[in-house]
Amino acid sequence: MKFRGKIVDVACLNHFTRVISTISKLTKSCILRLTPQHLFFVLSGKVTNGGVSMWCELSQANFFDEYQMEGFSPEDNEICLEVTPENLSRALKTTQNAKAVKVKLTKKHCPCLTITAELPTLSSISRVVTHDIPVEVIPRRLWHEFKEPSVPDFHVSIYLPPLKTMKNVVDKMKNLSNFLIMEANLRGEMNLKIETDLVSVTTHFKDLGNPPWGDDASQDGGAARRWDPEAMTQARVDIRKLQQFLMGQQVNPSKAMCNIVHDTVVHLILLHEDVSLQYFIPAVA
């Protein structure tokens, strides 16, 4: 298996660094799937086990000036690696003014993603910084665990309020409870609620709008179509997991959406031109 890529454009490098930084705030470890056209960062925490899931998709052509890979085989032309996003983020942050950054799958004392940056200097002598980031190669038999998650058959889909506003609200609510109720309807209304024995606090958002698919239910039809547009669907979630998602955002999405399956899961989606990030937070009783 072989992989090498090169980023020359400074804007692309900065954007790629922001995406990796966002992912590093969401998980300590994840799977990097490399295909001829895309890079995927995957966290498959089983929702049934109370863990969050993540799926981040990047089109390689929008980031890399050069991109070459040979996967497991011609039929299975992919590479799956377990990576620590924080290590990747740290390495990329040291390359921000680089003339060029190369990323290559190498074999040192163990498999590594080697990042090499050619930094600008005042003299004619070039300055090169190299980072070897240990990775683990995922065997072919386990690849099925890291496929794109299906969109759940949600009851309500709604656009999120500005993420910074939402973060400020959640930060304050975290001081009152470990759990938060997210509820929304098909009239563009969303509430964030805290309910304890001592206090009940609700923040209301109106006129957020509902994505077009919210009118026709999700991909396999059903739940949203049967749901009363005025009725609130809700999910009670661990407030720390929602706060973690909001704290890490550096993607600056053009669209931010939320799908809720009643009392089951909150599915958050951030869309940018060349990046999509999905994050699943399971409901708790």
Nearest CA among 272, 267, 266 for reference residue 250 = 272
Let me know if residue 223 belongs to a domain. Answer: no
Shared domain check, 140 and 18:
yes
Domain boundary at 145, 175, 205, which? 145
Predicted confidence (pLDDT) at residue 49 exceeds the cutoff of 50: no
Q: What is the pTM of this model?
A: 0.89
277 Cβ contact list (under 8 Å, min separation 6): 22, 54, 55, 56, 57, 251, 253, 269, 270
β-sheet bridge partners, residue 260:
156, 266
Mind listing the pLDDT tens digit for each residue in 53-67? 999 999 999 999 999
Domain boundary at 145, 166, 191, which? 145
How high is the pLDDT of residue 250?
A: 72
Predicted confidence (pLDDT) at residue 43 exceeds the cutoff of 50: yes
Shared domain check, 35 and 108:
yes
Shared domain check, 139 and 113:
yes
CATH number at residue 232: 3.70.10.10
| Domain count within the chain | 2
Cα(212)–Cα(99) distance, integer angstroms = 43
Number of Cα atoms under 13 Å in the Cβ half of residue 277: 22
Domain boundary at 123, 145, 167, which? 145
CA 60, 66, 71, 76 torsion-angle sign: positive
Cα(113)–Cα(136) distance, integer angstroms = 10
